[in-house]
Structure 1
Amino acid sequence: MRGIDLFLTLVVMLSLGAVLWPFLFYPLILRMLTTRPEQPGQGQPPSASLLFCAYNEAVAMPEKLANLAMLKRRHPQLQILAFDDGSSDDTAALIAAQGDLVTLVQGPGRSGKAHGMKRLAVRARGDVLIFTDANVLLDAEAIDNLLARYADPQVGGVLGSLHYLGEGKSATASVGSLYWRIEERLKDEESRTGNVLGADGSIFSIRRALYPDFPDSVLDDLTVSMAVIFAGKRLVKAKDVIARERLVAARGDEYRRKVRIAARAWHTHGHLRPQLRRMSAIDRFKYASRKIVRWFGGLFILTGVMAAFALALRIAPLLAMVGVTLALILLALGLRSKGGPVAAVVDILIAYAATLQGVFKAMSGRTVTVWNPAKSR
């Protein structure tokens, strides 16, 4: 009997440790690693092309185009390319009206962001390709600070820092903001110790010569940024390259977004697996800690809860039933609330559930190539 209790206790502890690993233990390990400094070089900054894809972003486009115009005034030689993925609103017309600022490439219909970025990369002339999203705004100094990091010949890619707007709009937005602040700190530590293990689409860049070939079904942000590491170059993060984006405020929008991203990320993981195995031991450790462990966080939570319930039943059945009842009440309250700590905990659980659903979706052979902008930004 005691052996079963010990086993269940061990399962609970291991599950809790796995959930906490990417956010507590992994950062502590990173802080113990030595700094790998960059080697500043000399000479003129490289030329650059800025690329973004859009679908039904007519609401965001006036502000985006004004931001691009500001960047163009500071960098007259900056090439700006946009791909419209068959928008049904005025997105393409708004971009086309600024033909002296942005070169518009239109797709035949819904073909996805990966396809669009490949189309743009072929037309790009800059030594450095800068990738961003249609709803993301860059600070005035972002391009200067980003290109300066390429003075080190070992740097093959540079990520920026994403700052979210609208944190107080809902519990979903608050949780998303907290998650991203943790993510940004992890990337800072990874960069300090060598390589960041993958970029998101808000703001990152690579040397054009390193741009890889890949199928339309993968997550292009992850695939393109990881190509830097596979080529033996450094993928680093610049704190002073700042991008700003509005948070998703509605749970439904955020759930669908996380399912889509997780499905494509796991599909991409399968595509990259042969190259991932050839990375250095430290980069494999980083990749597993920040990505694989997190992708299965929902499974760890479910396993831990089931083990804790089984253990409670063995120790005090009445207490176990009271605990389940209380948990269900708190869950119901959290689902009905738009703010507060209970709602935040529920949003965290929903995020884990969405990620796990996306991973299982990809494991079953399904993935997502197209996207729809969140209406609650």
Structure 2
Amino acid sequence: MLPSVSIIIPAHNEEAVLHAKLENALSIDYPTDRLDIVVASDGSRDDTVRIAHMFEDRGVRVLDFAKRRGKASVLNDAVAATESELLCLCDANVMFAPDALRQLVACLADDRVGAATGDVRLSSEDSDFGRGEGLYYRIERAMQVGESLLATTVCVDGGMYLMRRELYRPLKPDTILDDFVTSMNVIRHGRRIIYVPEAIATENATPCWKQEFRRRIRVTCGAMQVLVRGDWPRPWLQPVACFEFVSHKLLRWFGPLLLLIMLVTNAMLASTAPLYGYLLAGQVLFYAAATLGWWSAAARELTPIGVPFYFTMSHCAIAVGLLKGLFVKQQGMWERTPRHPHVASSQHPSTSSQQPASSG
């Protein structure tokens, strides 16, 4: 018999996508008597709760929390309100392929696996920086495949992941990166996280680079929170997972500092040998292309412009996030990117013209 699964959908003002999301959840290829679909509203002020109540006669449960407290608190209460063996945590704008849940569940047949995460793909037509983002996430997914083969991938995609109920630990109310902290809890309890490329879902891309810039600042603030609290694999017990954490996440978070050091030292050495001069010229051209991308959305459609733009924009956001995370007290609540209902309107995702997505 298949294990019971609770699909938990935290929602704050998700009226634009929630109807499509619940239709999608109810059409998943999984026995209905083994499936518990829960909408947990975090102080929504639009029609989110009304839409959710429309599906109660089809088995959807609604948790209407009147006061907005943030995603971490809502997840804690929603998990406490369920009894299923497995928890599927997902976003309201993420649409599952029919077999996505079964693909994730199959991985947890192995007792060594504590969680499984799927291939959540961005709708590329929504974004004005899709060229660079697409390349970035293709590299990200390749890394997750390799990490899964080596030991464990270090982070689930918060848009869609499955975990064992007993491994969920209540999150602190001000937690920013709930998916990352949950991932670390799974790993620190000696279980693996597996990336499952066959488990496909789609979500809205961030439409504007300015919104993506703000999102990445927020993610980096969460990264600083993780570092301060010590929520990472223990090197004396999990050396491979710790190596993956450092190489995949920690070095990325400190990328802006490393890039600045590289540029300054290259400039200092440029006159000492032709090679250093060529390398400096390459850096200058790279950042010049990125600057052109800041000015022109049309230019960002070209790969030689779009890739440097996305790379530079991301690292600028990380730099700001590092400073905010270190010196400004953060809260667990933030204004999410506006949803676009036309993207979420189809019941099942296709596999074409979409880019992989990740939590960063």
Using structure 2 for the length normalisation, give the TM-score: 0.83
1:71 alignment partner, one of 25, 28, 31 = 28
- Aligned-pair CA distance for 1:307: 2.4
- Secondary structure of the 1:200 match is coil
**Greater Cα radius of gyration, structure 1 or 2:** 1
Q: Secondary structure of 1:50's match?
A: strand
Q: 1:345 to 1:90 in 2, by over 3 A?
A: same
The residue that corresponds to 1:207 in the other structure is: 164
Tell me whether 339-348 or 291-300 shows the greater mean CA deviation. 339-348
Moved more, 303-312 or 189-198: 303-312
What is the Cα deviation at residue 292 of structure 1?
A: 0.2
After superposition, give the CA deviation of every residue in 1:229-262 in whole Å (9 maximum; x if it has no partner): 1111222122221121121120111001111111
The equivalent of 1:113 in structure 2 is 71
Of 148-157 and 265-274, deviating more is 265-274
Aligned equivalent of 2:37? 80
Give the distance between the partners of 2:114 and 2:73, measured in 1 at CA.
22
Measured against aligned partners, the alpha-carbon deviations of 1:99-151 in whole angstroms (never above 9, x if no partner) come to 23321222243311111111111011110011111110111011222212222
Aligned equivalents of 2:248, 2:283: Cα separation in 1: 31
Match of 2:187 in 1: 229
TM-score normalised by L of structure 1: 0.80
Contact 2:12 2:43 in 1 (8 A): yes
Aligned to 2:156, the other structure's residue is in SS state coil
Q: How many residues align?
A: 332
Pairwise CA RMSD: 2.7
Shift of 1:72: 7.4
User: How far is 1:277 from its partner?
Assistant: 4.1
Shift in CA distance, 168/151, structure 1 to aligned 2, threshold 3 Å: same
Offset of 1:282 from its aligned partner?
A: 1.0
Which residue, 337, 346, 351 being the options, matches 1:374? 337
Query: Higher helix proportion, which one?
Result: 1
Q: Is the 8 A contact 2:287 2:308 kept in 1?
A: no
Q: Residue 174 of structure 2 aligns with which residue? A: 217
Q: Does the aligned pair in 1 maintain the 2:211–2:337 contact within 8 Å?
A: yes
8 Å Cα contact 2:132/2:310 also seen in 1: yes
Match of 1:102 among 54, 60, 67: 60
The 3 A distance-change label for structure 1 pair 93 and 279 is farther
Residues 242 and 320 of structure 1, relative CA distance in 2, 3 Å threshold = closer
Structure 2 residue 323 is the aligned partner of structure 1 residue 364: no
Which deviates more from structure 2 when the two are superposed, residues 130-139 or residues 190-199? 190-199
**1:243 counterpart (201, 219, 229):** 201
Query: Do the aligned residues in 2 keep the contact of 1:157 with 1:207 (CA within 8 Å)?
Result: yes
Residues 253 and 376, structure 1, Cα contact 8 Å, conserved in 2: no
Q: 1:297 aligns with which of 248, 255, 263?
A: 255
Question: For 1:8-45, what per-residue CA distance to the aligned partner results, in whole angstroms no more than 9, with x for missing partners?
Answer: xxxxxxxxxxxxxxxxxxxxxxxxxxxxxxxxxxxx32
> How far off is 1:366 after superposition?
2.3
Unaligned 5+ segments in structure 1 are 1-43
Q: Provide closer, same or farther for how the CA distance between residues 67 and 169 of structure 1 changes in structure 2, counting only shifts above 3 A.
A: closer
Deviates more, 1:144-153 or 1:288-297: 144-153
After the TM superposition, list the runs of 4 or more consecutive aligned residues in structure 1 that deviate by more than 6 angstroms: 313-316, 318-328
Q: Give the % identical residues.
A: 27
Q: Name the residue aligned to 1:351.
A: 314
Match of 2:221 among 263, 266, 289: 263
Distance 1:177 1:156 in 2: 29
- Alpha-carbon distance, 1:201 to partner: 0.6
8 Å Cα contact 1:86/1:109 also seen in 2: yes
In structure 1, the residue matched to 2:295 is 336
**Matched residue, 2:13:** 56
Q: Which moved more, 1:340-349 or 1:270-279?
A: 270-279
Q: Deviation string for 1:251-294 (max 9, x for gaps)? A: 11100111111111220232234753454211110010000000
Over residues 160-192 of structure 1, what are the superposed CA-to-partner deviations in whole Å (9 max), with x where a residue is unaligned? 121222x24545233222222211111111111
Tell me the CA shift for residue 352 of structure 1: 1.0
Q: Quick one: distance in 2 between partners of 1:213 and 1:46? A: 22
State the alpha-carbon separation in 1 of the partners of residues 14 and 234 from structure 2: 35
Q: Is the CA contact 1:72–1:78 (under 8 Å) kept in the aligned structure 2?
A: no
Cα distance in 1 between the residues matched to 2:279 and 2:6? 60
Answering whether residue 247 of structure 2 is matched by residue 284 of structure 1, we say no
Residues 184, 233 of structure 2: 8 Å contact kept: no
1:223–1:272 Cα contact (<8 Å) kept: no
Cα distance in 2 for residues equivalent to 1:349 and 1:191: 28
1:189 to 137, 146, 149: 146
Corresponding position: 1:93 with 2:50: yes
